[in-house]
Structure 1
Amino acid sequence: MQIGINLLCLAGFITEAHLPLIRRIKELDYQGVEVPILSGDPRHYEWLAKELDALGLRRTSTSIVPSPNANPLSSDPDIRKSGVDHLDWVIDCALALGSESVGGPFHAPIGCFTGTGPSEDEIRYGAEAHNRMAEKAQANGIYLSLEHLNRFETHFLNTMEQAKAYVAAVDHPAFAIMYDTFHANIEEQKQADAIATIAGHMGVLHISENDRGIPGRGHIAFGEIFEAVRKTGFDGWVTLEAFGGGVPELAAATRVWRPLFPDYDTLFSESIEFIRGQWELAA
């Protein structure tokens, strides 16, 4: 098991200004960071890779579909093409970063709905795009970890039953699921059962409290979650995802306008102690 932290708690675009806080993350013995790939170009992520190498931090990444005009699920072939081009850009930046896994909801634009659940065509178009993306990832020694979201953020992938069926539709060994405890807390009746449903297909485990603040301070039953995860044999990235009110560019997507942790040092230190302790207790 490797413990990471999603850097969206700092910003949507990581620059030199964030390096002091990232050094603190390393001092607290996180093994890696999950870097947002939302903008920029491969050259920026090559620079960031060198900085993270110097600190001894491994990395995964997270990305999204930024616009309805780049939707790989669209019935419009030109829009689907733009969506596939966007996924190619994500992979190119992730490779420049040295990312081990490309995660996040890179299936559909967040907050865009059709009024129904996913159609057969949307599943078919998505599976084609993600199989192609997974092939490129595998050829470069990395894998995909597609993130489910709750029903208030997307109509496409909400539950682990849907995720299991979608893994079968994509049908590629480099394609897995990023399990997120915040979204599952909304959509699943029992998280332990949901985790068992995707046993063998979890690429990254996102640890996110019910309010998206510091894990262990809310009501999510993390003890049961860690026990269920360990029963599956998963031994990969366990990544903290928390948000605060200090990143205005993310407020519209995360619906977080208030501080959910007192300061970064408290978030970083308390979270890694909690995650490590819960993992050990679940053994």
Structure 2
Amino acid sequence: MSAHAAPAKRVTLAALAAKKDAGEPIVMVTAYDHPGAQIVEAAGVDVVLVGDSAAMTVLGYDSTVPVTIDEMLMLTKAVRRGLTRPLLVGDLPFGSYEASDELAIATAQRFVKEAGCDLVKIERGGTTVDRARALVQAGIPVVGHVGLTPQTATALGGYRAQGRTADAALAVIDDAVALQEAGCSMLVVEAIPSEVTEVLVSRLDIPVIGIGAGADADGQVLVFHDLLGLYDGGAAKFVKRYAELRVAAVAGVEAYATEVREGVYPAPEHGYAMAAGESDRLQELLSAGDSIHRA
């Protein structure tokens, strides 16, 4: 972009709806810190999700379940400071919204007021539909999430595809329709057959963002650390590596460690020198018994 070019417009929900209507794919990616936010901003993505996947990719938990509201808020605030153009979605962590409408609203308000989220994301259908409706009525835009829902993966039989039978697919579709009717502005569908995604896209007016849900979705989302090869854990079948940054990072740190141990780094060009004549004067002061502690 030239020095005189107009800044890119901020993404809006209306703009995403227009993309869906025009068949123009929507790009969503996760981010969890300020540098990551700056990277995805520079890459020109449309939507940034501070996912509770941060529990595993950033915080070292074994699943998404243990991550707390305060941990998610800290990460989301950092991402907000690195974004200008994309919409920001905050993932409400497990246990922070399920019990009641009041709890859901109180949690979501923190993500909007303290972290600057444009939308919040909640998982599943069922009673979550009631939570979504309450949030929308409270003036908070909501992203729904159906299919594989990591917060309740144990109840779903583990991290595996959902909706693979006609009955199971109908349940996913029913949940998705109910979330739209509750007022959700967008829907994430995870690890479902492409045939089910095709049905959802044709029946829903809101954008459908897929992750492991085939090419028929209105947009796609991937985890930052997965697509860049930064996460050392196992990757799902649907993940495509677009870079291997962990390999490059390990190699870089190894090269640094080798140079330190061999006395190669730091070289003279990596240091600072005193002003001309000051080194000699310092030696004179030291020889005279002067010190920084003198009266």
**TM-score, structure 2 length as denominator?**
0.48
Higher Cα Rg, which structure? 2
Q: Using CA pairs under 8 Å that are at least 6 residues apart, name the structure with larger relative contact order, 1 or 2.
A: 1
**TM-score, structure 1 length as denominator?**
0.50
